[in-house]
Structure 1
Protein backbone atom coordinates (compact mmCIF):
# COMPACT_ATOMS: atom_id res chain seq x y z
CA UNK A 1 0.00 0.00 0.00
CA UNK A 2 1.48 3.28 -1.15
CA UNK A 3 1.50 6.10 1.34
CA UNK A 4 2.47 9.67 0.56
CA UNK A 5 5.72 10.65 2.21
CA UNK A 6 5.43 13.88 4.20
CA UNK A 7 8.13 15.83 5.94
CA UNK A 8 7.73 16.39 9.66
CA UNK A 9 6.26 19.76 10.57
CA UNK A 10 8.73 22.39 11.77
CA UNK A 11 8.22 23.83 15.23
CA UNK A 12 7.16 27.47 15.31
CA UNK A 13 10.05 29.22 17.02
CA UNK A 14 9.84 32.42 14.98
CA UNK A 15 6.58 33.67 16.50
CA UNK A 16 7.64 33.49 20.17
CA UNK A 17 11.06 34.93 19.30
CA UNK A 18 9.47 37.84 17.46
CA UNK A 19 6.87 38.47 20.16
CA UNK A 20 9.47 38.20 22.92
CA UNK A 21 11.79 40.70 21.22
CA UNK A 22 8.95 43.16 20.70
CA UNK A 23 7.84 42.81 24.32
CA UNK A 24 11.40 43.33 25.53
CA UNK A 25 11.82 46.53 23.53
CA UNK A 26 8.44 47.79 24.71
CA UNK A 27 9.44 47.17 28.33
CA UNK A 28 12.71 49.03 27.83
CA UNK A 29 10.90 52.03 26.39
CA UNK A 30 8.30 52.01 29.15
CA UNK A 31 10.60 51.53 32.13
CA UNK A 32 13.78 53.29 31.01
CA UNK A 33 12.54 55.98 28.66
CA UNK A 34 14.07 58.77 30.75
CA UNK A 35 17.49 57.09 30.76
CA UNK A 36 17.41 56.68 27.00
CA UNK A 37 16.43 60.32 26.68
CA UNK A 38 19.38 61.33 28.85
CA UNK A 39 21.79 59.29 26.69
CA UNK A 40 20.28 60.83 23.57
CA UNK A 41 20.70 64.35 24.92
CA UNK A 42 24.30 63.69 25.96
CA UNK A 43 25.20 62.52 22.45
CA UNK A 44 23.41 65.48 20.89
CA UNK A 45 25.34 67.84 23.18
CA UNK A 46 28.52 66.59 21.53
CA UNK A 47 27.30 66.13 17.96
CA UNK A 48 25.25 69.27 17.42
CA UNK A 49 27.95 71.84 18.36
CA UNK A 50 30.52 69.96 16.25
CA UNK A 51 28.17 69.82 13.29
CA UNK A 52 27.22 73.48 13.64
CA UNK A 53 30.87 74.47 13.82
CA UNK A 54 31.74 72.56 10.65
CA UNK A 55 28.70 73.76 8.73
CA UNK A 56 28.86 77.35 9.98
CA UNK A 57 32.53 77.95 9.34
CA UNK A 58 33.58 79.23 5.91
CA UNK A 59 34.57 76.40 3.62
CA UNK A 60 38.05 77.84 3.08
CA UNK A 61 38.73 77.86 6.83
CA UNK A 62 37.72 74.21 7.19
CA UNK A 63 39.89 73.28 4.20
CA UNK A 64 42.82 75.23 5.65
CA UNK A 65 42.41 73.64 9.10
CA UNK A 66 42.21 70.10 7.72
CA UNK A 67 45.16 70.72 5.41
CA UNK A 68 47.18 71.98 8.38
CA UNK A 69 46.18 68.88 10.34
CA UNK A 70 47.23 66.69 7.41
CA UNK A 71 50.62 68.42 7.28
CA UNK A 72 51.09 68.06 11.04
CA UNK A 73 50.32 64.35 10.87
CA UNK A 74 52.48 63.59 7.83
CA UNK A 75 54.97 66.49 7.64
CA UNK A 76 54.41 66.44 3.87
CA UNK A 77 53.07 69.43 1.97
CA UNK A 78 52.00 67.18 -0.90
CA UNK A 79 49.67 65.29 1.42
CA UNK A 80 48.22 68.52 2.81
CA UNK A 81 47.64 69.73 -0.75
CA UNK A 82 45.96 66.44 -1.68
CA UNK A 83 43.60 66.73 1.30
CA UNK A 84 42.64 70.30 0.43
CA UNK A 85 42.12 69.27 -3.21
CA UNK A 86 39.84 66.44 -2.15
CA UNK A 87 37.79 68.80 0.01
CA UNK A 88 37.59 71.32 -2.84
CA UNK A 89 36.32 68.52 -5.10
CA UNK A 90 33.57 67.75 -2.58
CA UNK A 91 32.51 71.38 -2.60
CA UNK A 92 32.60 71.48 -6.39
CA UNK A 93 30.16 68.56 -6.43
CA UNK A 94 27.73 70.62 -4.37
CA UNK A 95 27.98 68.33 -1.35
CA UNK A 96 29.93 70.45 1.12
CA UNK A 97 27.16 70.87 3.69
CA UNK A 98 26.21 67.20 3.51
CA UNK A 99 29.86 66.18 3.85
CA UNK A 100 30.26 68.26 7.02
CA UNK A 101 27.21 66.56 8.53
CA UNK A 102 28.63 63.14 7.71
CA UNK A 103 32.07 64.04 9.09
CA UNK A 104 30.52 65.15 12.39
CA UNK A 105 28.50 61.93 12.62
CA UNK A 106 31.52 59.74 11.85
CA UNK A 107 33.81 61.58 14.29
CA UNK A 108 31.37 61.19 17.18
CA UNK A 109 30.73 57.53 16.33
CA UNK A 110 34.47 56.76 16.12
CA UNK A 111 35.13 58.60 19.38
CA UNK A 112 32.39 56.63 21.13
CA UNK A 113 33.66 53.36 19.64
CA UNK A 114 37.17 54.23 20.85
CA UNK A 115 35.97 55.04 24.39
CA UNK A 116 34.06 51.76 24.59
CA UNK A 117 36.17 49.47 22.42
CA UNK A 118 39.71 50.22 23.59
CA UNK A 119 39.12 49.43 27.31
CA UNK A 120 37.12 46.34 26.35
CA UNK A 121 39.98 45.14 24.15
CA UNK A 122 42.44 45.69 27.02
CA UNK A 123 40.22 43.71 29.39
CA UNK A 124 39.86 40.89 26.86
CA UNK A 125 43.64 40.70 26.54
CA UNK A 126 43.93 40.36 30.32
CA UNK A 127 41.05 37.92 30.88
CA UNK A 128 40.62 34.70 28.90
CA UNK A 129 37.09 34.08 30.14
CA UNK A 130 36.01 37.60 29.17
CA UNK A 131 37.46 37.07 25.69
CA UNK A 132 35.50 33.84 25.33
CA UNK A 133 32.37 35.62 26.50
CA UNK A 134 32.70 38.61 24.18
CA UNK A 135 33.85 36.76 21.04
CA UNK A 136 30.35 35.42 20.16
CA UNK A 137 28.90 38.86 20.88
CA UNK A 138 31.41 40.53 18.55
CA UNK A 139 30.65 37.90 15.90
CA UNK A 140 26.96 38.71 16.25
CA UNK A 141 27.57 42.46 15.97
CA UNK A 142 29.57 42.01 12.76
CA UNK A 143 27.40 39.40 11.03
CA UNK A 144 23.89 40.72 11.67
CA UNK A 145 22.92 43.02 8.77
CA UNK A 146 23.29 46.65 9.73
CA UNK A 147 19.66 47.33 8.83
CA UNK A 148 18.62 45.20 11.81
CA UNK A 149 20.36 47.58 14.22
CA UNK A 150 18.24 50.47 13.03
CA UNK A 151 14.92 48.99 14.17
CA UNK A 152 15.54 48.79 17.94
CA UNK A 153 17.72 51.92 17.85
CA UNK A 154 14.89 53.91 16.26
CA UNK A 155 12.35 52.51 18.72
CA UNK A 156 14.49 53.37 21.75
CA UNK A 157 15.81 56.76 20.64
CA UNK A 158 13.46 57.89 17.89
CA UNK A 159 14.47 58.93 14.40
CA UNK A 160 17.46 61.13 13.71
CA UNK A 161 21.13 61.34 14.53
CA UNK A 162 21.31 59.50 17.88
CA UNK A 163 20.10 56.07 16.69
CA UNK A 164 22.35 56.47 13.65
CA UNK A 165 25.37 57.01 15.91
CA UNK A 166 24.54 54.04 18.14
CA UNK A 167 23.86 51.71 15.22
CA UNK A 168 27.16 52.82 13.70
CA UNK A 169 29.03 52.10 16.94
CA UNK A 170 27.52 48.62 17.19
CA UNK A 171 28.51 47.88 13.61
CA UNK A 172 31.98 49.45 13.65
CA UNK A 173 33.39 48.79 17.16
CA UNK A 174 34.21 45.03 16.89
CA UNK A 175 37.40 45.43 14.78
CA UNK A 176 38.86 47.82 17.34
CA UNK A 177 38.10 45.44 20.22
CA UNK A 178 39.49 42.42 18.39
CA UNK A 179 42.69 44.05 17.16
CA UNK A 180 43.39 45.74 20.49
CA UNK A 181 43.08 42.37 22.17
CA UNK A 182 45.25 40.72 19.53
CA UNK A 183 47.93 43.41 19.62
CA UNK A 184 48.28 43.29 23.40
CA UNK A 185 48.47 39.50 23.46
CA UNK A 186 51.25 39.60 20.86
CA UNK A 187 53.48 41.83 22.98
CA UNK A 188 56.61 39.77 23.83
CA UNK A 189 56.52 38.30 27.32
CA UNK A 190 60.16 39.31 27.82
CA UNK A 191 59.26 42.99 27.50
CA UNK A 192 56.51 42.69 30.10
CA UNK A 193 58.76 40.73 32.45
CA UNK A 194 61.48 43.35 32.10
CA UNK A 195 59.01 46.01 33.18
CA UNK A 196 58.02 43.98 36.22
CA UNK A 197 61.66 43.45 37.18
CA UNK A 198 62.18 47.21 37.08
CA UNK A 199 59.28 47.64 39.51
CA UNK A 200 56.67 49.02 37.11
CA UNK A 201 53.03 48.70 38.08
CA UNK A 202 50.45 46.99 35.84
CA UNK A 203 49.21 50.40 34.68
CA UNK A 204 52.75 51.56 33.88
CA UNK A 205 53.46 48.35 31.97
CA UNK A 206 50.25 48.81 30.00
CA UNK A 207 50.85 52.48 29.22
CA UNK A 208 54.61 52.43 28.57
CA UNK A 209 55.23 48.94 27.16
CA UNK A 210 52.14 47.09 25.97
CA UNK A 211 50.14 49.88 24.32
CA UNK A 212 53.12 51.36 22.41
CA UNK A 213 54.17 47.91 21.16
CA UNK A 214 50.58 47.03 20.24
CA UNK A 215 50.02 50.40 18.54
CA UNK A 216 50.20 49.12 14.91
CA UNK A 217 47.46 46.59 15.62
CA UNK A 218 45.35 49.13 17.52
CA UNK A 219 45.76 51.62 14.69
CA UNK A 220 44.59 49.02 12.18
CA UNK A 221 41.51 48.41 14.31
CA UNK A 222 40.82 52.14 14.58
CA UNK A 223 41.22 52.49 10.83
CA UNK A 224 38.73 49.71 10.15
CA UNK A 225 36.31 51.22 12.66
CA UNK A 226 36.50 54.59 10.93
CA UNK A 227 35.97 53.06 7.50
CA UNK A 228 33.00 51.00 8.69
CA UNK A 229 31.53 54.08 10.38
CA UNK A 230 31.73 56.00 7.13
CA UNK A 231 30.14 53.08 5.28
CA UNK A 232 27.16 53.33 7.64
CA UNK A 233 26.24 56.90 6.64
CA UNK A 234 24.10 55.63 3.77
CA UNK A 235 22.24 53.17 6.00
CA UNK A 236 21.87 55.79 8.73
CA UNK A 237 20.14 58.13 6.29
CA UNK A 238 17.18 55.73 6.31
CA UNK A 239 16.32 56.79 9.86
CA UNK A 240 16.70 60.50 9.37
CA UNK A 241 20.44 61.11 9.71
CA UNK A 242 21.28 63.88 7.28
CA UNK A 243 24.45 63.89 5.24
CA UNK A 244 25.98 62.38 2.14
CA UNK A 245 24.01 59.19 2.74
CA UNK A 246 20.83 61.14 2.12
CA UNK A 247 22.11 62.08 -1.33
CA UNK A 248 22.66 58.42 -2.18
CA UNK A 249 19.26 57.52 -0.75
CA UNK A 250 17.54 60.19 -2.83
CA UNK A 251 19.23 58.87 -5.95
CA UNK A 252 17.98 55.37 -5.13
CA UNK A 253 14.43 56.49 -4.38
CA UNK A 254 14.17 58.61 -7.53
CA UNK A 255 15.95 56.12 -9.76
CA UNK A 256 18.56 58.82 -10.42
CA UNK A 257 21.97 57.15 -10.91
CA UNK A 258 23.70 60.52 -11.39
CA UNK A 259 22.73 61.71 -7.91
CA UNK A 260 23.79 58.39 -6.45
CA UNK A 261 27.14 58.67 -8.26
CA UNK A 262 27.76 62.14 -6.81
CA UNK A 263 27.07 60.89 -3.28
CA UNK A 264 29.21 57.82 -3.82
CA UNK A 265 32.16 59.87 -5.04
CA UNK A 266 31.96 62.11 -1.97
CA UNK A 267 31.98 59.07 0.34
CA UNK A 268 35.02 57.69 -1.50
CA UNK A 269 36.93 60.97 -1.16
CA UNK A 270 36.07 61.22 2.55
CA UNK A 271 37.15 57.62 3.09
CA UNK A 272 40.50 58.20 1.37
CA UNK A 273 41.17 61.37 3.39
CA UNK A 274 40.23 59.71 6.67
CA UNK A 275 42.26 56.59 5.93
CA UNK A 276 45.41 58.47 4.93
CA UNK A 277 45.19 60.81 7.92
CA UNK A 278 44.92 57.88 10.32
CA UNK A 279 47.84 56.14 8.65
CA UNK A 280 49.96 59.28 8.81
CA UNK A 281 49.09 59.77 12.48
CA UNK A 282 49.93 56.16 13.18
CA UNK A 283 53.35 56.51 11.59
CA UNK A 284 54.13 59.47 13.87
CA UNK A 285 53.09 57.53 16.98
CA UNK A 286 54.89 54.35 15.99
CA UNK A 287 57.78 53.55 18.35
CA UNK A 288 61.09 54.45 16.75
CA UNK A 289 59.44 56.55 14.04
Structure 2
Protein backbone atom coordinates (compact mmCIF):
# COMPACT_ATOMS: atom_id res chain seq x y z
CA UNK A 1 0.00 0.00 0.00
CA UNK A 2 1.33 3.44 -0.93
CA UNK A 3 2.33 5.67 1.97
CA UNK A 4 2.95 9.36 2.59
CA UNK A 5 5.23 10.46 5.40
CA UNK A 6 5.23 6.85 6.54
CA UNK A 7 1.41 6.71 6.88
CA UNK A 8 -1.06 4.49 5.02
CA UNK A 9 -2.72 6.08 1.98
CA UNK A 10 -6.15 6.05 3.67
CA UNK A 11 -4.78 8.45 6.29
CA UNK A 12 -3.28 10.80 3.71
CA UNK A 13 -6.46 11.59 1.76
CA UNK A 14 -9.71 12.40 3.52
CA UNK A 15 -12.46 9.95 2.47
CA UNK A 16 -14.91 11.77 0.21
CA UNK A 17 -17.74 11.21 -2.23
CA UNK A 18 -16.92 10.51 -5.84
CA UNK A 19 -17.26 13.26 -8.46
CA UNK A 20 -20.17 11.43 -10.08
CA UNK A 21 -22.07 11.24 -6.78
CA UNK A 22 -21.46 14.92 -6.08
CA UNK A 23 -22.68 15.88 -9.55
CA UNK A 24 -25.90 13.90 -9.07
CA UNK A 25 -26.50 15.45 -5.64
CA UNK A 26 -25.88 19.00 -6.85
CA UNK A 27 -28.01 18.55 -9.95
CA UNK A 28 -30.91 17.09 -7.93
CA UNK A 29 -30.82 19.89 -5.35
CA UNK A 30 -30.48 22.68 -7.92
CA UNK A 31 -33.26 21.35 -10.13
CA UNK A 32 -35.55 20.78 -7.15
CA UNK A 33 -34.93 24.33 -5.94
CA UNK A 34 -35.69 25.75 -9.40
CA UNK A 35 -38.89 23.69 -9.65
CA UNK A 36 -40.09 25.08 -6.31
CA UNK A 37 -39.32 28.63 -7.44
CA UNK A 38 -41.20 28.13 -10.74
CA UNK A 39 -44.22 26.70 -8.91
CA UNK A 40 -44.36 29.63 -6.49
CA UNK A 41 -43.27 32.38 -8.90
CA UNK A 42 -46.69 34.08 -9.00
CA UNK A 43 -46.95 34.12 -5.22
CA UNK A 44 -43.39 35.45 -4.91
CA UNK A 45 -44.11 38.25 -7.39
CA UNK A 46 -47.32 39.18 -5.55
CA UNK A 47 -45.53 39.20 -2.19
CA UNK A 48 -42.72 41.46 -3.41
CA UNK A 49 -44.94 43.82 -5.45
CA UNK A 50 -45.64 46.23 -2.54
CA UNK A 51 -41.93 46.42 -1.80
CA UNK A 52 -41.21 47.17 -5.46
CA UNK A 53 -43.85 49.91 -5.52
CA UNK A 54 -42.58 51.47 -2.30
CA UNK A 55 -38.97 51.35 -3.51
CA UNK A 56 -39.78 52.90 -6.89
CA UNK A 57 -41.98 55.63 -5.37
CA UNK A 58 -39.33 56.67 -2.85
CA UNK A 59 -36.55 56.59 -5.44
CA UNK A 60 -38.60 58.67 -7.85
CA UNK A 61 -39.39 61.14 -5.08
CA UNK A 62 -35.73 61.49 -4.09
CA UNK A 63 -34.32 61.74 -7.61
CA UNK A 64 -37.03 63.87 -9.25
CA UNK A 65 -37.44 66.40 -6.43
CA UNK A 66 -35.55 69.68 -7.03
CA UNK A 67 -32.12 69.47 -5.46
CA UNK A 68 -32.64 72.50 -3.14
CA UNK A 69 -35.68 70.76 -1.63
CA UNK A 70 -33.77 67.53 -0.92
CA UNK A 71 -30.74 69.52 0.25
CA UNK A 72 -32.78 71.43 2.84
CA UNK A 73 -34.76 68.32 3.81
CA UNK A 74 -31.58 66.37 4.56
CA UNK A 75 -30.20 69.26 6.61
CA UNK A 76 -33.44 69.43 8.61
CA UNK A 77 -33.31 65.67 9.26
CA UNK A 78 -29.68 65.90 10.39
CA UNK A 79 -30.46 68.84 12.68
CA UNK A 80 -33.51 67.08 14.15
CA UNK A 81 -31.41 64.03 14.94
CA UNK A 82 -28.13 65.56 16.06
CA UNK A 83 -29.01 69.11 17.24
CA UNK A 84 -25.44 69.99 16.26
CA UNK A 85 -24.56 72.84 13.92
CA UNK A 86 -21.18 71.24 13.29
CA UNK A 87 -22.83 68.09 12.00
CA UNK A 88 -25.22 70.15 9.86
CA UNK A 89 -22.34 72.18 8.44
CA UNK A 90 -20.37 69.02 7.65
CA UNK A 91 -23.44 67.52 5.98
CA UNK A 92 -23.91 70.66 3.86
CA UNK A 93 -20.28 70.59 2.70
CA UNK A 94 -20.48 66.88 1.86
CA UNK A 95 -23.71 67.36 -0.12
CA UNK A 96 -22.24 70.31 -2.02
CA UNK A 97 -19.19 68.21 -2.95
CA UNK A 98 -21.47 65.36 -4.08
CA UNK A 99 -23.42 67.76 -6.30
CA UNK A 100 -20.31 69.42 -7.73
CA UNK A 101 -18.95 66.06 -8.89
CA UNK A 102 -22.30 65.18 -10.52
CA UNK A 103 -23.12 62.37 -8.11
CA UNK A 104 -26.35 63.84 -6.78
CA UNK A 105 -28.82 61.57 -8.58
CA UNK A 106 -26.87 58.39 -7.83
CA UNK A 107 -26.58 59.47 -4.20
CA UNK A 108 -30.35 59.99 -3.98
CA UNK A 109 -30.90 56.52 -5.48
CA UNK A 110 -28.62 55.02 -2.85
CA UNK A 111 -30.33 56.99 -0.08
CA UNK A 112 -33.72 55.67 -1.20
CA UNK A 113 -32.47 52.07 -1.16
CA UNK A 114 -30.83 52.45 2.27
CA UNK A 115 -33.96 54.14 3.66
CA UNK A 116 -36.24 51.33 2.50
CA UNK A 117 -33.78 48.64 3.66
CA UNK A 118 -33.50 50.24 7.11
CA UNK A 119 -37.28 50.60 7.37
CA UNK A 120 -37.85 46.95 6.45
CA UNK A 121 -35.05 45.79 8.78
CA UNK A 122 -36.64 47.68 11.68
CA UNK A 123 -40.08 46.21 10.91
CA UNK A 124 -38.57 42.71 10.96
CA UNK A 125 -35.91 43.15 13.63
CA UNK A 126 -37.90 44.93 16.33
CA UNK A 127 -40.61 42.24 16.79
CA UNK A 128 -38.06 39.42 16.58
CA UNK A 129 -35.85 41.17 19.15
CA UNK A 130 -38.84 41.56 21.47
CA UNK A 131 -39.69 37.86 21.09
CA UNK A 132 -36.07 36.93 21.85
CA UNK A 133 -36.15 39.04 25.01
CA UNK A 134 -39.41 37.46 26.18
CA UNK A 135 -38.52 33.84 25.42
CA UNK A 136 -35.23 32.12 26.23
CA UNK A 137 -36.24 29.18 24.05
CA UNK A 138 -36.85 31.44 21.04
CA UNK A 139 -33.51 33.12 21.69
CA UNK A 140 -31.70 29.77 21.72
CA UNK A 141 -33.27 28.93 18.34
CA UNK A 142 -32.72 32.29 16.66
CA UNK A 143 -29.19 32.99 17.91
CA UNK A 144 -27.50 30.34 15.68
CA UNK A 145 -29.47 31.68 12.71
CA UNK A 146 -28.21 35.19 13.40
CA UNK A 147 -24.67 33.84 13.79
CA UNK A 148 -24.88 32.29 10.33
CA UNK A 149 -26.36 35.47 8.83
CA UNK A 150 -23.53 37.59 10.24
CA UNK A 151 -20.66 35.25 9.34
CA UNK A 152 -21.80 34.10 5.90
CA UNK A 153 -19.98 36.07 3.16
CA UNK A 154 -22.22 38.77 1.74
CA UNK A 155 -21.78 37.49 -1.84
CA UNK A 156 -23.34 34.17 -0.80
CA UNK A 157 -26.64 35.92 -0.02
CA UNK A 158 -26.98 36.83 -3.67
CA UNK A 159 -27.15 33.23 -4.91
CA UNK A 160 -30.51 32.17 -3.40
CA UNK A 161 -31.90 35.71 -3.73
CA UNK A 162 -31.21 35.81 -7.48
CA UNK A 163 -32.55 32.28 -8.01
CA UNK A 164 -35.80 33.10 -6.17
CA UNK A 165 -36.39 36.72 -7.14
CA UNK A 166 -34.32 37.21 -10.29
CA UNK A 167 -32.39 40.37 -11.15
CA UNK A 168 -33.57 43.81 -10.07
CA UNK A 169 -33.94 46.27 -7.23
CA UNK A 170 -36.06 44.08 -4.97
CA UNK A 171 -33.59 41.14 -4.93
CA UNK A 172 -30.78 43.56 -4.09
CA UNK A 173 -32.91 45.13 -1.37
CA UNK A 174 -33.73 41.74 0.13
CA UNK A 175 -30.03 40.82 0.19
CA UNK A 176 -29.26 44.11 1.97
CA UNK A 177 -32.00 43.50 4.55
CA UNK A 178 -30.77 39.96 5.27
CA UNK A 179 -27.27 41.30 5.80
CA UNK A 180 -28.33 44.32 7.91
CA UNK A 181 -31.13 42.98 10.12
CA UNK A 182 -29.14 40.89 12.69
CA UNK A 183 -27.81 43.92 14.67
CA UNK A 184 -31.35 45.26 14.98
CA UNK A 185 -32.58 41.94 16.39
CA UNK A 186 -29.64 41.43 18.73
CA UNK A 187 -29.57 44.94 20.17
CA UNK A 188 -33.35 45.06 20.67
CA UNK A 189 -33.08 41.82 22.62
CA UNK A 190 -30.10 43.12 24.59
CA UNK A 191 -31.72 46.47 25.38
CA UNK A 192 -34.86 44.86 26.80
CA UNK A 193 -32.92 42.30 28.83
CA UNK A 194 -30.73 45.04 30.33
CA UNK A 195 -33.68 46.93 31.81
CA UNK A 196 -33.23 47.12 35.58
CA UNK A 197 -35.03 44.31 37.39
CA UNK A 198 -36.12 46.73 40.11
CA UNK A 199 -38.01 48.77 37.52
CA UNK A 200 -39.77 45.62 36.26
CA UNK A 201 -40.63 44.63 39.83
CA UNK A 202 -42.04 48.11 40.46
CA UNK A 203 -44.22 47.78 37.36
CA UNK A 204 -45.41 44.38 38.62
CA UNK A 205 -46.20 45.92 41.99
CA UNK A 206 -48.43 48.49 40.29
CA UNK A 207 -50.32 45.70 38.51
CA UNK A 208 -48.96 46.23 34.98
CA UNK A 209 -49.67 43.41 32.55
CA UNK A 210 -46.96 42.14 30.13
CA UNK A 211 -48.12 44.44 27.33
CA UNK A 212 -48.09 47.50 29.60
CA UNK A 213 -44.63 46.59 30.90
CA UNK A 214 -43.32 46.21 27.35
CA UNK A 215 -44.66 49.49 25.93
CA UNK A 216 -44.54 51.57 29.10
CA UNK A 217 -41.30 50.40 30.71
CA UNK A 218 -39.04 48.07 28.73
CA UNK A 219 -39.11 49.68 25.28
CA UNK A 220 -38.72 53.29 26.54
CA UNK A 221 -35.78 52.32 28.76
CA UNK A 222 -34.13 50.27 26.00
CA UNK A 223 -34.51 52.95 23.30
CA UNK A 224 -30.81 54.03 23.41
CA UNK A 225 -29.69 50.44 22.77
CA UNK A 226 -32.34 50.00 20.07
CA UNK A 227 -31.10 53.20 18.40
CA UNK A 228 -27.62 51.70 18.37
CA UNK A 229 -29.14 48.77 16.48
CA UNK A 230 -30.69 51.20 13.99
CA UNK A 231 -27.29 52.86 13.58
CA UNK A 232 -25.59 49.54 12.88
CA UNK A 233 -28.35 48.54 10.47
CA UNK A 234 -27.83 51.74 8.46
CA UNK A 235 -24.06 51.24 8.38
CA UNK A 236 -24.36 47.63 7.23
CA UNK A 237 -26.91 48.61 4.58
CA UNK A 238 -24.45 51.13 3.16
CA UNK A 239 -21.63 48.59 3.25
CA UNK A 240 -23.78 46.16 1.24
CA UNK A 241 -24.61 48.67 -1.50
CA UNK A 242 -21.70 47.71 -3.76
CA UNK A 243 -22.44 43.98 -3.47
CA UNK A 244 -26.16 44.54 -4.12
CA UNK A 245 -25.30 46.46 -7.29
CA UNK A 246 -24.29 43.12 -8.83
CA UNK A 247 -27.96 42.14 -9.08
CA UNK A 248 -29.34 45.34 -10.54
CA UNK A 249 -29.40 47.93 -7.75
CA UNK A 250 -28.27 51.27 -9.18
CA UNK A 251 -26.77 54.28 -7.47
CA UNK A 252 -23.27 54.71 -6.14
CA UNK A 253 -22.69 50.98 -5.72
CA UNK A 254 -23.20 50.38 -9.44
CA UNK A 255 -20.65 53.08 -10.26
CA UNK A 256 -18.11 51.58 -7.85
CA UNK A 257 -18.61 48.13 -9.39
CA UNK A 258 -18.10 49.53 -12.90
CA UNK A 259 -14.99 51.37 -11.73
CA UNK A 260 -13.58 48.13 -10.33
CA UNK A 261 -14.39 46.23 -13.53
CA UNK A 262 -12.85 48.87 -15.83
CA UNK A 263 -10.09 50.03 -13.45
CA UNK A 264 -11.36 53.62 -13.31
CA UNK A 265 -9.55 54.90 -10.24
CA UNK A 266 -11.07 58.39 -10.19
CA UNK A 267 -14.64 57.17 -10.66
CA UNK A 268 -14.24 54.60 -7.91
CA UNK A 269 -12.66 57.11 -5.55
CA UNK A 270 -15.34 59.76 -6.04
CA UNK A 271 -18.24 57.34 -5.63
CA UNK A 272 -16.52 55.76 -2.66
CA UNK A 273 -16.13 59.24 -1.15
CA UNK A 274 -19.87 59.82 -1.56
CA UNK A 275 -20.64 56.52 0.20
CA UNK A 276 -18.28 57.36 3.04
CA UNK A 277 -19.79 60.85 3.38
CA UNK A 278 -23.31 59.42 3.63
CA UNK A 279 -22.16 56.82 6.16
CA UNK A 280 -20.52 59.46 8.36
CA UNK A 281 -23.61 61.71 8.18
CA UNK A 282 -25.95 58.89 9.20
CA UNK A 283 -23.55 57.65 11.87
CA UNK A 284 -23.09 61.05 13.55
CA UNK A 285 -26.80 61.85 13.37
CA UNK A 286 -28.05 58.52 14.74
CA UNK A 287 -25.39 58.40 17.47
CA UNK A 288 -26.25 61.91 18.62
CA UNK A 289 -29.94 61.05 18.62
CA UNK A 290 -29.25 57.90 20.66
CA UNK A 291 -27.26 59.87 23.24
CA UNK A 292 -30.06 62.41 23.57
CA UNK A 293 -32.54 59.58 24.09
CA UNK A 294 -30.30 58.06 26.75
CA UNK A 295 -30.00 61.35 28.66
CA UNK A 296 -33.76 61.87 28.44
CA UNK A 297 -34.43 58.31 29.65
CA UNK A 298 -31.98 58.65 32.54
CA UNK A 299 -33.56 61.95 33.55
CA UNK A 300 -37.03 60.38 33.61
CA UNK A 301 -35.72 57.37 35.51
CA UNK A 302 -34.12 59.59 38.16
TM-score of the pair, normalised by structure 1: 0.94
Matched, 1:115 2:123: yes
From 218, 222, 226, the counterpart of 1:210: 218
Matched, 1:258 2:266: yes
Matched, 1:94 2:94: no
Q: CA RMSD in A?
A: 1.8
From 11, 16, 19, the counterpart of 1:11: 16
1:25 positional shift: 2.5
Corresponding residue of 1:178? 186
Structure 1 residues 24, 194: closer, same or farther in 2, change over 3 A? farther
Rounded Cα–Cα distance in structure 2 between residues aligned with 1:275 and 1:79: 10
Aligned length: 288
* Residues 76-104 of structure 1: per-residue CA shift (max 9 Å, x gap): 33322222221111112221111111111
Matched, 1:187 2:195: yes
Structure 1 residues 21, 108: closer, same or farther in 2, change over 3 A? farther
1:9 positional shift: 4.9
Higher alpha-carbon Rg: 2
Cα pair 2:180 2:237 within 8 Å, conserved = yes
Cα pair 2:255 2:268 within 8 Å, conserved = yes
Structure 1 residues 237, 34: closer, same or farther in 2, change over 3 A? same
Rounded Cα–Cα distance in structure 2 between residues aligned with 1:16 and 1:145: 26
* Residues 228-282 of structure 1: per-residue CA shift (max 9 Å, x gap): 0011110011111101001111111111111111111011001011111212322
* Residues 48-106 of structure 1: per-residue CA shift (max 9 Å, x gap): 11100110011111111111122222333332222222111111222111111111111
Cα pair 1:67 1:84 within 8 Å, conserved = yes
From 26, 43, 52, the counterpart of 2:34: 26
Corresponding residue of 1:242? 250
TM-score of the pair, normalised by structure 2: 0.90
1:213 positional shift: 1.6
From 66, 79, 91, the counterpart of 2:74: 66
